[in-house]
Amino acid sequence: MAVIKLPYVVSDVDRHGNVRYYFRRRPEPKVRLPEKPGSLEFREAYEAAEKRKPVAKPTKKPHEIKGTFAYACHHYFNDKATFKRLDKSTQGWQRRALDEIAATHGDKQLAAIAPRHVRKLRDEKADTPAAANNMLKALRSLFEFAKENDLVDTDPTREVKRIKYVAKGHHSWSLIEVADFEERWPIGTKQRLAMALLLYTACRREDVVRLGPSHFRGERIVYTQAKNEHRNPVHMDIPVHPDLAEVIAASTVKGDTYLITEYGKPFSVAGFGNRFREWCDQAGLSHCSAHGLRKATAARLAERGATPHEIMAITGHQTLGEVQRYTKAAQMRGLADAGMALLPNRKKAEENGGTSAPKSVESDRSKTRSHNDPSH
């Protein structure tokens, strides 16, 4: 037992190896002292015991009180079977949404939260519907975890609907915009390499920052998408486009990843997104983004007649829904071209000495004239 050089202070070690301190002045009862010698809590408790005043019990923090919102969040964030298995980006936005709620309501009992409380939280973010819906999704994940671990019996989020809104989505790059970026950032620059990797693999930001020489095997790119890689991994195996091979061959690679910061480190997902935005701004393309290149690649494949399943093999989409949007848009464009070609071209017809009306219209005119002519 270690003895502290303070009157009446003794210590011992519990079965977990933690040192515990006490104020012991016989024949008075032994009093437990919180924290460690030198801390404010320890000093205040020692002075109170020395003056024979009751030692105030340390106040528990919200996440230490079983059943509170903060308690549920704390255990959810540390659960290996649920939260830890989410990809990093999902962990990030869920933690931010739940931490924001916990900052105000962390001490509230989770079981006392009713649908009306959830609706109020949702409506407080009505001006930013995407953020409101993400908050609702995070709450649903938390309550699903809480039900499974017997912290609550019901899930109030199931009675709350998402806010409906029309998402603008990411701008899909045009061929002219790609050319403008390439003109500003020629082959051999880091910016051009980043754009080529995004354009010719249709990968996401979280994938492009991880791509490196080890993923290029012969004339193919083999990698696992970061999204849901621990729950439902999507393994990609696509050919290397000749234009991408040309850009990579002209680029200097110094690490395990193709894209590195000025400090020689791989980009973080958010860091790359911000930097690529700066490169777009410098090229006069402030409305363009990294994700827009993925969308542009899928749209171009559809315009050139690729089937939805062929597009999915390149983009890694797991459902036809998203890909069919690109295909439908391309088909509508082709149908519009074919339909517009059926309309008469007056100027062209006049130059050829004919009429701009379709043959069916001319036939109807001829029949009408014949019927109204008295000589017939």
- CATH number of the CATH domain containing 251: 1.10.443.10
Burial 205-234 (b: 16+ CB within 10 A, else e): bbbbbbbbeebbeeeebebebbbebeeeeb
pLDDT at 131: 93
Residue 282 resides in a domain: yes
- pLDDT at position 87 is 84
User: Is 134 a residue whose pLDDT tops 80?
Assistant: yes
Per residue in 22-55, pLDDT (tens digit) is 988 888 888 889 888 888 889 888 988 888 765 5
Question: Which of 93, 127, 159 finishes a domain?
Answer: 159
- Quick one: 221 and 332 in the same domain? yes
Q: What are 172-202's pLDDT values in tens digits?
A: 888 899 999 999 999 999 999 999 999 999 9
Clarify whether residues 123 and 185 are in a common domain: no
- Does residue 238 share a domain with residue 148? no
Give the pLDDT confidence score for residue 240 in this predicted structure: 95
Domain range holding 31?
Answer: 9-59
Pick the closest to residue 259 from 207, 219, 298 (CA basis). Answer: 207
pLDDT exceeds 80 at position 211: yes
Residue 13 located in a structural domain = yes
Same domain flag for 247 and 331: yes
How many domains is the chain built from? 4
Q: What is the CATH number of the domain that holds 130?
A: 1.10.150.130
Q: Does 368 lie in the same domain as 302?
A: no
Q: Looking at the structure, tell me whether residues 45 and 154 fall in a common domain.
A: no
pLDDT of the residue at 369: 54
Residue 238 placed within a domain: yes
Q: What is the pLDDT of residues 51-87, one digit of tens each?
A: 876 555 667 788 889 999 999 999 999 999 999 988 8
Computed over every residue of the chain, the mean pLDDT equals 87
231 with 314, same domain: the answer is yes
Q: Is residue 170 part of a domain?
A: no
Confidence of residue 3 (pLDDT cuts 50, 70, 90): very low
- Same structural domain for residues 218 and 83? no
Evaluate if pTM is beyond 0.85. Answer: no
Query: Does the residue 278 lie in any domain?
Result: yes
**How far apart (Å, rounded) are the C-alpha atoms in residues 363 and 347?**
21
Residue with tokens 């910061």: 261
Per-residue tokens: 125 = 């973010």
**Cα dist from 88 to 85, 211, 224, 232, 285, whole Å:** 9, 17, 15, 14, 29
pLDDT of residue 253: 84
Same-domain check for residues 184 and 304: yes
118 and 49: one domain? no
Q: What is the mean pLDDT of residues 341-364?
A: 66
Question: pLDDT at position 252, please?
Answer: 87
Q: Is residue 4, in this structure, part of any structural domain at all?
A: no
**Is residue 112 scored above 70 in pLDDT?**
yes
pLDDT digits (tens, 9 = 90+) for 255-310: 899 999 998 899 999 899 999 999 999 999 999 999 889 988 988 888 888 889 99
- Rounded-to-10 torsion of CA 304, 306, 308, 314: -100
Q: How far apart are CA 272 and CA 208, in angstroms?
A: 9
Residue 167 lies inside a defined structural domain of this protein = no
Shared domain for 245 and 197, answered yes or no, is yes
* 119 inside domain: yes
If asked whether residues 318 and 296 sit together in one domain, one would say yes
